[in-house]
Amino acid sequence: MIELISPARCTGCNICVSVCPMDVFQPAGSGRADGTAPVIARQSDCQTCFLCEAHCPDDALYVAPDAETVTGIAEDAVAAAGLFGSYRRAIGWTAAHRENRSADQTFRLLAPH
Amino acid sequence: MATVPGAPVSSSAASLDLETDVLILGGGPAGTWAAIAAATGGARTILADKGFCGTSGATAASGTTLWYVDPDPAKRAAAKASREGLGGHLADHGWMDRVLDRTHAAVGQLADWGYPFPRDADGRERRVSVQGPEYMRLMRRRVKQAGVTILDHCPALELLVDGGGAVAGAVGVQRQKGGRWTVRAKAVVIATGGCAFLSKALGCNVLTGDGLLMAAEAGADLSGMEFSNAYAIAPAFGSVTKTLLYQWASFTRADGEPIPGAASKGGRSVIARVLATEPVYARLDRAEPELWAAMRQAQPNFFLPFDRAGIDPFTQRFPVTLRLEGTVRGTGGLRLVDGTCATAVPGLFAAGDAATREPICGGFTGGGSHNAAWAMSSGHWAGLGAADHARALGNGTRTLRRAGGAGLQDRLRGGHGGVIDAGGLTRAVQAEVFPYDINYFRTEEGLTGSLGRLDRLWTDAAGAMPASADTILRVREAAAMLATARWMYRSALARTESRGMHRRIDHAALDPAQHHLLTVGGLDEVHVSTRPAPVRLDPVRLDPTEAGRELAA
């Protein structure tokens, strides 16, 4: 489930608000989100698909793997574990990891073994 | 509800009022392929997505293998034969041929558009799979380049129909901008996906059967809804229902004792039986270490839950569960009446998981592969068919009415004045479709009891009046899941045999006399009838070991 938006990393672009297929976020600068970052307004609607992370250009979001419960993990712990932006790097959506976009090895797994 | 005259459409009630040739509902693979086909053919096209076109649905969050087979007669024949038995011999070889052709062409287009297919050690491009985020980001871009108007976060609530009963648009809510939307269209494509009952299977909570309900309210019927009990393995705590890598898993009880017969392929029901009473653990310890890196590169999101939970899935055991994927990985959906993917209602087309996939896989899919090929192909044909229908219709003025029923029945439309508690109804439906002992292991007794409760829920829901603006989407989702569950179980009750994924404990064998397809439809009264299965013209060799190997998802 979506756990946190890092206020230090977030630039308030609101891309996560647009791309979340479950409409979990409230945009920055509206209603409860009176700061520079969106807020997680409907956390229990999160389907744990990790796509907000994939589309965040600033690696400011963290989705915990727990689909049913809120873990309450702190930003420091996410940063210390190197988890901010880890999905984006794995799929090659950062400049430094572009080669991962074409790294799909599924064809090897489908071959008889 | 055909007997209730719907309220006339008033544009003043809508804050966004548009008119177009083709309206596509749903922006996953099927919807985007449909939109590109319609717009490229010259039709003015609008695509409305409940969430965001590019992230909505089962594919974007996941990734998928592709039923991509070179046009070599021997390879094609083997591809068609591989799941023949698993699907209960209900697939249609004519449809399989055209889907294999169309998918080959579509995947070629993806490559031309710049999809970064990997290369093997010989430098050969390999086109047998796509990564979800990458694929759907590209599809969104191509939809926009084709000149399609995308309405994100615009779930449809009900269809519009004209005086002759033809579908003529839809009405919905703008859940981020506020207010309603109305699109008058000459043809509509339902590409809203299957129904996974908010089980939190990966990417599937967008998929609540909305399009099935809307289409049925306009008079469409469905097929294969008994093939709707797909359950996928996931870490017990997580959402990632990707099962390909579990072919390398061993399954154990809490004390480490191996579970005889438990397997991802061909032994998933064993896992379900044990899970009914105690936890089941998995470990991918049958994968040789030299394969580990390839597995990570094939499915980066499979490993997210483990990496984040501090579990090494190759060496450490983790608890697993089975999440219902309903008709998403099932094969039931709206019945198609011809090769243009038209439904039984004029002006209404269906594509992807919202349509029945029986034509290419009968009563079974392992997910991915055939479903992905079906989305590409049926989307393309539905888009073309809708554009042709719009062109033939011309520009006459039509009087439209709203076709929606449950949860939309104000007093003018014959409602009883009550409202639906969306959360309560959703939980009540889930209590009927999630349990393995009702849905996975089906019996006459279990299905009949469940249908009695579901029918009573429908009696209340059918006449319920509109909810408040902030709950109306949830209300309609709950009603759609309820309708879907009733079509599923009425079909499952009628098929007194085991075929495809449909397993009857009280009719464990395949019955040659039931080599037919089941049509189901209706809302207040659900009715089931049989249609002949397609006649296979070319003889196909059936090798059970080949079939087993193909069953990867």
Is the same domain home to B450 and B312? no
Per-residue model confidence (pLDDT) at position B297:
94
State mean pLDDT over B531-546: 58
Domain boundary among B324, B351, B382: B324
Answer whether B239 touches A (CB < 8 Å): yes
Same domain, B175 and B267: no
Predicted confidence band at B464 (pLDDT cuts at 50, 70, 90)?
confident
Residue B548 CA to residue B224 CA, distance in Å, equals 22
- Is residue B56 located within the same domain as residue B101? yes
Q: Give chain A positions within 8 Å (CB) of B52.
A: 18-21
Stretch (H or E) spanning A3: strand A2-5
- Residue B39 in any domain: the answer is yes
User: Nearest by CB to B120, which of A22, A107, A112?
Assistant: A107
Over residues A38-58, the pLDDT tens digits come to 999 999 999 999 999 999 999
Can you tell me whether residue B29 is helix, strand or coil?
helix
pLDDT score recorded for residue A43? 96
Residue given tokens 């653990």 in the structure block: B281
The dihedral built from the CA positions of residue A48, A52, A55 and A58, taken in this order, carries a sign that is negative
Asked if the C-beta of B236 comes within 8 angstroms of chain A's C-beta atoms, the answer is no
The one-letter code for the residue type at B233 is: I
Q: Is B431 on the interface with A (CB under 8 A)?
A: no
Identify whether residues B53 and B117 lie together within a single domain: yes
Q: Is B119 on the interface with A (CB under 8 A)?
A: yes
Chain A within 8 Å of B292 (Cβ-Cβ)? no
Q: Identify the pLDDT of residue B395.
A: 85
Q: What percent of chain B shows pLDDT beyond 70?
A: 94
State whether B174 and B61 are in the same domain. yes
Q: What are phi and psi of B450, to 5 degrees?
A: -65, -45
Please list the residues that pair with B19 across neighbouring strands.
B184
Task: State both tokens at B553.
Answer: 């998802």
Average pLDDT, chain B: 92
Question: Which residues on B lie below 8 Å from A110 (Cβ)?
Answer: 65, 128-129, 552
For residue B413, the model assigns a pLDDT of 72
pLDDT of residue B123: 95
Domain shared by B221 and B93, yes or no:
yes
Q: Give contacts of A55 with chain B, Cβ < 8 Å.
A: 55, 133
Query: Do B56 and B186 sit in the same domain of this protein?
Result: yes
Domain map (residue ranges) of chain A: 2-110
Cβ distance A109 to B245 less than 8 Å, yes or no, reads: yes
Q: Determine the 3-state secondary structure of B534 from DSSP.
A: coil
Residue-wise pLDDT for B493-518, tens only, equals 999 999 999 999 999 999 999 999 99
pLDDT at res. A112: 56
On chain B, the residues whose CB falls within 8 A of the CB of A102 are 116-119
In a domain, residue B540? The reply is: no
* B411, B429, B488 from B407: Cα distances, Å: 12, 16, 21
Domain identity same for B145 and B209: yes
CA B539 to chain centre: 30
pLDDT for residue B9? 53
pLDDT at B532 over 90: yes
Q: Which of B476, B517, B480 is nearest to B495 (CA)?
A: B517
Query: Which among A21, A50, A102 is the nearest to B116, CB-wise?
Result: A102
User: According to the model, what pLDDT value does residue B492 have?
Assistant: 98
Residues B489, B465: Cα–Cα separation, whole Å: 26
In terms of domains, do B26 and B137 share one?
Answer: yes
Distances (CA, A) of B145 to A20, B32, B35, B138, B150: 22, 12, 11, 11, 11
Assess if residue B320 is contained within a domain.
Answer: yes
User: In this structure, what are the phi and psi dihedrals at residue B428, rounded to the nearest 5 degrees?
Assistant: -65, -40
Secondary structure, 3-state, A54-109: HHCCCCCEEECCCCCCCCCCCHHHHHHCCCCCHHHHHCCCCHHHHHHHHCCCHHHH
Query: Does residue B56 register a pLDDT over 60?
Result: yes
Bridge-based pairing of strands B222-223 and B333-334 is antiparallel
Tell whether the model's pLDDT for residue B70 goes beyond 80.
Answer: yes
Do residues B142 and B284 both lie within one domain? no
Inter-chain contact B206–A47, Cβ cutoff 8 Å? yes
CB B341 within 8 A of CB B349: yes
Q: What is the CATH number of the domain that holds B506?
A: 1.20.58.100
At B298, list the tokens. 């094939």
Task: Tell me the average pLDDT across B15-22.
Answer: 96
Q: Is the pLDDT of residue B549 over 70?
A: no
Whether residue B404 lies inside any domain: the answer is: no
B233-242: average pLDDT: 94
Structure tokens at B523: 């809302």
Q: A35 pLDDT exceeds 80? A: no
Query: Average pLDDT, stretch B373-394?
Result: 97
Residue at B469 is within a domain = yes
The confidence band for B546, taking pLDDT boundaries of 50, 70 and 90, is very low
Query: How many of the other CB atoms lie within 10 Å of CB of A108?
Result: 17
* Domain annotation covers residue B534: no
Among A3, A104, A108, the strongest candidate for a mutation testing the B interface, having the largest count of B CBs within 10 A, is A104
Interface predicted TM-score (ipTM): 0.96
The set of residues, in sequence order, having a beta carbon less than 8 Å from that of B130 and lying 6+ positions away, is: A104, B63, B64, B66, B110, B115, B372
Task: Supply B433's token pair.
Answer: 């479709």
Query: Which residues are bridge partners to B516 per DSSP?
Result: B532
**Which of the four CATH numbers 3.30.70.20, 3.40.50.1220, 2.30.110.10, 3.50.50.60 does domain A2-110 have?**
3.30.70.20
Q: Identify the band that residue B36 occupies on the pLDDT scale cut at 50, 70 and 90.
A: very high
Under 8 Å CB-to-CB from B460, ≥6 apart: which residues?
B418, B420
B117 Cβ under 8 Å from any chain A Cβ: yes
* pLDDT tens-digit map of A56-103: 999 999 999 999 999 999 999 999 999 999 999 999 999 999 999 999
The count of structural domains within chain B is 3
Q: Does residue B476 contact residue B407 with C-beta atoms inside 8 Å?
A: yes
Query: Under 8 Å CB-to-CB from B306, ≥6 apart: which residues?
Result: A65, B235, B312, B313, B318
Report residue B536's pLDDT band, with 50, 70 and 90 as the boundaries.
low
Q: Region B92-104: what's the mean pLDDT?
A: 96
Residue at which a domain ends, from B339, B361, B393: B393
Verify that B160 and B116 share a domain, yes or no: yes
pLDDT for the residue numbered B412: 73
Tell me, what's the pLDDT at B551?
36
Question: Any CB–CB contact under 8 A between A70 and chain B?
Answer: no
The yes-or-no verdict on residue B553 having pLDDT over 80 is: no
Q: What is the pLDDT of residues B156-198, one digit of tens each?
A: 999 999 999 999 999 999 999 999 999 999 999 999 999 999 9
Burial environment of residue B436 by CB neighbours within 10 A (0 to 12, 13 to 18, 19 or more)? middle
In a domain, B552, yes or no: no
Could you tell me what percent of chain B has a pLDDT over 90? 86
Output the pLDDT for position B2. 32
CATH number at B28 reads 3.50.50.60
Judging by DSSP bridges, how do beta strands B45-48 and B318-326 pair with one another?
A: unpaired
- On whether both B312 and B336 belong to a single domain, the answer is no
Q: Are strands B333-334 and B348-350 parallel, antiparallel or unpaired?
A: unpaired
Quote the domain boundaries for residue B206: 11-228+327-393
